[in-house]
Each structure stands twice: as C-alpha cells, then as structure tokens.
Structure 1
Amino acid sequence: MNEGENRHIARDSLFLMADLRVDGLDGEFRIKVRNLSAGGMMGEGMVRVVRGTVVQVNIRNIGWIAGSVAWVQDSRFGVAFAEDIDPRLARAPVGKGEDPAPDYMRHQARGSAAAVLRKI
C-alpha cells in the first residue's frame, strides 16, 4: 500500500491518552491520540519511533491493538493497525454509567437530610 492510498479513509479528530508499547523497548509510553480511524491513528509523545516499527496501542474501550508506524514527523507519528477497529468506541463513556462522584457527594446530591448545610 502506498502512502496516499489511505487518505480517503474517514478520520475522527479527538484528544485522548493511550499507552504505547514499542517492539524492542521495555515498558509503556503514555501518548496523545490526535485522530483515529478504523485503520489507524495519529499519536504524539516523547517516544522515538521510526517508520516500520511494530507497536501496540491501548485505546480506551477498545484495548490493545497491534500495528506498525507508517510515518514520523517530530513528536507525531502515524500507526497503521493490523486489523480494523470501531473508532466510535473510543468516544463512548468509560464504565457502565456509574456515578463517578465520591460517596459523600452522592449522598448530598440525593437530597438526604445530610445535604442540608448549617450556617455558622
């Protein structure tokens, strides 16, 4: 596949954090995902990769995806996924709709007697 063949694929601009594993390097790198499509993504971070490097990216609500670096420019790089994904999943809320507020905030929001503040 040449460089211009994938330019017609719809990309979704977004900003989310992801973890990146680079073949041959130990550990994981925290990166920013700038755009995402079914076949790949643009990432940005303080990790040095070169074109052709095999990587894995952990994108929220999707999980670990294998791919390879398609291009590099400064701190940004493109990743071509080995298999297509559904990029809409990354925009879905994390969790099952649970209230993210701490317990003491949830009780106040329910209008319990504890929610009434006294004046000092």
Structure 2
Amino acid sequence: MTGLETRSVSRDSLFLLANVRIEQQSETHRARVRNLSDGGMMGEGAMPVKRGNRVTVELRNIGTIGGTVAWVQDQRFGIAFDEEVDSQLARKPAFESSNDDNHLNAPSYAHRAPPQLDPGSLRKV
C-alpha cells in the first residue's frame, strides 16, 4: 500500500447495518457498512452482487438511496450512490430529536481524513 491517497471524497469508518436490495430481486439483504461517504459506501455481507448491479440501500436517518455496485471483492463491495447524501446523519442515534442542543448536532470529525494540503502553502525547512 502506498502513502498516496487517490480518493477525492473523505469517508467515515463506522459499523452499522443497512438493508440492500438488488434491482429486479424481491429479497432484501442485511449488509454491514464499513465505510460511508457522501457519495458511496463500502459494505460487507454474503450477497450475490456483481459489478454494475443497480441497488437500493436503506440507511438509518438517511433513508433509501439508489446506487450502482462499483466493485466486488470476496464479501465486500463498493456502492456509488446516485445522489450525494449527508453521511454524518447515519452517525446520529435513530431516536435523536431535533430539539437537542446545538453542540450535539455538530458534525463528527472523529474519523474523517484531514483535508489535502496545497504543496504551495508548505514552507521548506
């Protein structure tokens, strides 16, 4: 593994469950969400998904999102969402009310990658 980060979107490492339904199949599968970003997710589970499959994913506090399977490796798979979501909502408890104090509604940056630095802004030592 190299130290070069090729992703353009930061993602959260977390563990939650999602319901995934493969297009043109009636069965809903439970998948473990290992990484979640505004544009997609990495899931894990014994599901018959293939690259290019259209899926719908139901995530806590976000709802149902359409997407496409971007890659599959063993029981892990990546899904690119059709539309961006607020991935921080999935971190909030399902029962949290909107009347909570503002400090409780602040986004969590605990597992976010730091922003990429502009090489021109660095000073040489």
TM-score normalised by length of structure 1: 0.74
Shift of 1:25: 1.6
Alpha-carbon distance in 1 for matches of 2:60, 2:92: 9
Identical amino acids, percent of aligned pairs: 54
Q: Counterpart of 1:9?
A: 9
Q: Counterpart of 2:79?
A: 79
Output the amino acid matched with 1:16. L
Output the aligned Cα RMSD: 1.2
Query: Aligned ranges for residues 43-54 of structure 1 at < 5 Å?
Result: 43-54=43-54
Alpha-carbon distance in 1 for matches of 2:82, 2:30: 21
Alpha-carbon distance in 2 for matches of 1:58, 1:89: 13
Shift of 1:96: 3.7
1:88 counterpart SS class: helix
Q: Counterpart of 1:28?
A: 28
2:26 counterpart SS class: coil
2:25 counterpart SS class: coil
After TM superposition, where is structure 1 displaced by more than 6 Å over at least 4 residues in a row?
A: none
Give the number of the structure with larger relative contact order, counting CA–CA contacts within 8 Å between residues 6 or more apart: 2
Unaligned runs of 5+ in 1: 1-5, 98-120
**Considering only CA atoms, is the larger Rg found in Structure 1 or Structure 2?**
1
The total of aligned residue pairs comes to: 92
Q: Counterpart of 2:38?
A: 38
Shift of 1:94: 1.1
Deviations along 1:66-87, whole A, 9 cap, x unmatched? 0000000000000000000000
Output the amino acid matched with 2:55. V
TM-score normalised by length of structure 2: 0.71
Shift of 1:24: 2.0
Deviations along 1:3-37, whole A, 9 cap, x unmatched? xxx72210100000010010122220011000000
Deviations along 1:83-116, whole A, 9 cap, x unmatched? 000000000111145xxxxxxxxxxxxxxxxxxx
